Amino acid sequence: MRWLRYWWPAILWAIIISSFSTSAFTSENTSRVIIPVLRWFLPHAMPETLSLIHHVIRKCGHFTEYFILSLLLLHALRAGTRDFGVRWALIVIFIVAGYAALDEFHQSFVPGRTAAVTDVLIDTSGGAAAQLLVALLVLWRSVRKQRGESTAQSHTGIRPAS
C-alpha cells in the first residue's frame, strides 16, 4: 500500500480531469458562467472578443490541468526519491500524452463535446512545460549548491567533503 501514498494524488487528479470531459463542461455550459464574468470585467467588449477570451481560458485550462497532472505523475513515479533525470521526464510526458489522447477519444462519445488533436497537443505541452520547470529548478538548485560550496571554500580555505 506504500505505492498508494504516492499515486493517490495523480489518480485523483486524473479523475478530476475526466470529469471535465463530461457534457457538464461543454463550451456552451462554461460560457454561461465565464462570459457574464468577462462582461462584468470588460463591459464594453464586443461579443466576439468575449468569445475569444472564453476560448483562450478553456485552452489555458487544458494546459494547466495537464501541467498539474505531470507534476503529480513525476512525484508518483519517483516514489519519494529526490532523483530526477531526462528518463523520468520523458516517461511522464509519454503518460500525459497517452492520457490526453484517451481523454479526447472519450470526448468523441460525449454529447456536446468534440475530440481535437490540438487539445492533445496543448495538454502534452502543459505536461512537458511542467517537466521543463522541474528540470530548471533542479539545475538552479545544483548551481546554487555548487556556488555555496565554492564560496565556503574560498572564505575558509577548506574544501567540502565529497
| Rounded-to-integer distance, Cα 4 and Cα 76, Å | 9
Burial class (CB in 10 A: 0-12, 13-18, 19+), 65: buried
The answer to whether the beta carbons of residues 6 and 79 sit under 8 Å apart is yes
Cα–Cα distances in angstroms (integers) from residue 53 to residues 22, 100, 113, in the given order: 22, 23, 19
Output the pLDDT for position 156: 59
Q: Are 99 and 20 in contact (CB under 8 A)?
A: no
Q: Is 45 within 8 Å of 39 (Cβ atoms)? A: yes
Question: How far is it, in rounded angstroms, from Cα 154 to Cα 93?
Answer: 41
Residue 93 confidence class, pLDDT cut points 50, 70, 90: very high
Q: Compute the distance between CA of residue 54 and CA of residue 135 in angstroms, rounded to an integer.
A: 32
Grid coordinates representing 140 are: 538552479
Close Cβ partners of 128 (under 8 Å, ≥ 6 residues apart):
70, 93, 96
Say which DSSP state 23 is in: G
- pLDDT tier for residue 162 given thresholds of 50, 70 and 90: low
The model's pLDDT over 16-75, given as tens digits with 9 standing for 90+, comes to 999 998 888 878 889 999 999 999 999 999 999 999 999 999 999 999 999 999 999 999
pTM for the complete prediction?
0.84
Q: What is the rounded CA–CA span in Å between residue 82 and residue 79?
A: 9
